[in-house]
């Protein structure tokens, strides 16, 4: 998609805000209250207007017509302007007299405003009477003071309605405030952060829900700690017999059987080391042994460990400062990323790019293999997860490589992101720059 076809930033923000509002229970409740309030006011006002307007007008119409006949006759022939003035002072009327002898308007300003607006006339409902001498007298209703007061009351009612909406919004926000805390707590628990429980502020249903989620998280934390403890204990206990088995295997005569045995024992050793490192990093018990390190040189060394593979291309920036890094663990991360790309995408090029983006060093390892689906992408860095295509004996591994890489990145204050490269898979490591 070209830059011209890309949606404008304001449009993206508008759509994002609309999606948030559409999924917000708080705004739905406030919107429902507003709609109910507005509908109630409209129905009530319309009903009352129809009730009063429809009934009284039909009753009063013949009385008004008779009164206007008497008023027109009282003006005399030719019509008396003085009497017309007295009538206007007593009643909310506008009187216009048009004829051969008298041309008079009690409210000339209204006619001028009507002409400026392109209208024939301005005023309320009107009726005309033609006198015997040919003069035409037009009576129009003007807005009485009580109607102006009614309009003010209408605006005051609208302001009060808006005030009630504001109070309703604050009330709904207060009622639904625990939901934000529960949502944030569930996100923390989903990321394995159990140190900060959800704050329980009320004893209603939402408070009870928060307490139940805290209890569930505590049970889950105890279960995970028990599993980690068991895994660490088993891994430690396996190291000693594995070491003895490797020593005994060294005494076996050279041959394919000895080489296969040593290779399997080496895989078991690496697996146990990965298990121990992952559990230490996940539990927060690992203290990084950092030292100033040249990231560019470390990337080149990791690529050289694969025998100068011609299919590995390097694009390394030269302006990166030395960084405090646990060199062995970061080297392990690079070896896992490159090895994972080579294992799952053989005979395809691998691209390593190291660049500087503001206050971060960004390393991208990309292969050009078949890639993964969106569902697999979300699970790739989970412990012991392997895609279906990786569950073959020739690929090796048990699904700890990317998980361990993510833990190493997080221990250094960075992050590991997995992206579909089309074709292939791109793994992006971001580390904060300290200098």
What pTM value is reported for the model? 0.46
Identify the weakest region by mean pLDDT among 86-100, 189-203, 298-312, 373-387.
Answer: 373-387
pLDDT at 12 over 50: yes
> How confident is the model at residue 391, as a pLDDT?
42
How confident is the model over 402-426, as a mean pLDDT?
85
pLDDT at 393 over 50: no
**Residues above pLDDT 90, as percent of the chain:** 2
Mean pLDDT value across the chain:
76
Pick the closest to residue 374 from 419, 426, 423 (CA basis). Answer: 419
Higher pLDDT, 51 or 417: 417
Query: Residue 59: phi, psi to the nearest 5?
Result: -70, -40
Residues 6+ apart with CB under 8 A from 5: none
pLDDT digits (tens, 9 = 90+) for 52-70: 555 556 666 787 788 888 8
Instruction: For the beta carbon of residue 90, count every other beta carbon within 10 angstroms.
Output: 8
pLDDT digits (tens, 9 = 90+) for 239-251: 777 777 777 777 7
> How confident is the model at residue 203, as a pLDDT?
80
pLDDT at 24 over 80: no
Collapsed DSSP state (helix, strand, coil) of residue 426: strand
How confident is the model over 24-41, as a mean pLDDT?
73
Confidence of residue 389 (pLDDT cuts 50, 70, 90): very low
DSSP 219-258: HHHHHHHHHHHHHHHHHHHHHHHHHHHHHHHHTSPSSHHH
pLDDT digits (tens, 9 = 90+) for 265-293: 776 776 777 666 666 666 554 567 788 88
> How confident is the model at residue 394, as a pLDDT?
47
């Amino acid at each position: 998609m070209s830059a011209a076809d890309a949606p404008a930033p304001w449009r993206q923000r508008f759509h994002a805000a609309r999606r948030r509002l559409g999924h917000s229970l708080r705004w739905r409740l406030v919107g429902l209250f507003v709609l109910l309030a507005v509908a109630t006011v409209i129905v009530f006002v319309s009903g009352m207007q129809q009730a009063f307007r429809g009934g009284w007008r039909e009753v009063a119409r013949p009385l008004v017509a008779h009164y206007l006949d008497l008023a027109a006759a009282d003006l005399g022939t030719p019509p008396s302007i003085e009497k017309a003035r007295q009538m206007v002072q007593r009643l909310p009327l506008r009187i216009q007299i048009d004829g051969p002898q008298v041309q008079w308007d009690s409210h000339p300003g209204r006619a001028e405003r009507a002409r400026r607006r392109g209208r024939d006339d301005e005023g309320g409902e009107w009726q005309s009477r033609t006198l015997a001498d040919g003069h035409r007298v037009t009576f129009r209703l003007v807005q009485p003071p009580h109607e102006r007061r009614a309009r003010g009351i209408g605006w005051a009612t609208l302001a009060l309605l808006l005030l009630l909406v504001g109070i309703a919004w604050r009330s709904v926000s207060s009622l639904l405030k625990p939901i934000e805390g529960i949502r944030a707590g569930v996100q923390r628990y989903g990321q394995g952060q159990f140190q900060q429980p959800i704050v329980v502020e009320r004893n209603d249903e939402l408070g009870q829900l928060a307490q139940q989620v805290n209890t569930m998280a505590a049970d889950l934390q105890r279960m995970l700690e028990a599993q980690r403890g068991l895994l660490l204990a088993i891994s430690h206990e396996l190291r000693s017999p594995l070491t003895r088995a490797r020593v005994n295997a060294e005494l076996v005569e050279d041959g394919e059987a000895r080489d296969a045995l040593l290779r399997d024992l080496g895989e078991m050793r690496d697996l146990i080391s990965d298990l121990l490192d992952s559990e230490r990093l996940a539990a927060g018990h690992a203290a990084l042994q950092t030292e100033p390190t040249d990231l560019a040189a470390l990337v080149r060394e990791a690529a050289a460990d694969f025998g100068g593979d011609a299919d590995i291309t390097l694009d390394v920036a030269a302006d990166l400062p030395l960084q405090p890094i646990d060199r062995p663990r970061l080297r392990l991360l690079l070896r896992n990323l490159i090895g994972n790309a080579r294992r799952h995408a053989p005979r395809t090029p691998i691209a390593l790019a190291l660049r500087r983006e503001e206050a971060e060093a960004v390393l991208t390892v990309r292969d050009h293999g078949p890639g993964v689906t969106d569902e697999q992408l979300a699970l790739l860095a989970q412990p012991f997860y392997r895609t279906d295509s990786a569950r073959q004996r020739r690929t090796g591994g048990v699904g700890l490589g990317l998980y361990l890489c993510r833990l190493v990145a997080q221990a250094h204050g960075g992050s590991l992101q997995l992206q579909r490269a089309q074709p292939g898979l791109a793994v992006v490591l971001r580390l904060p720059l300290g200098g």
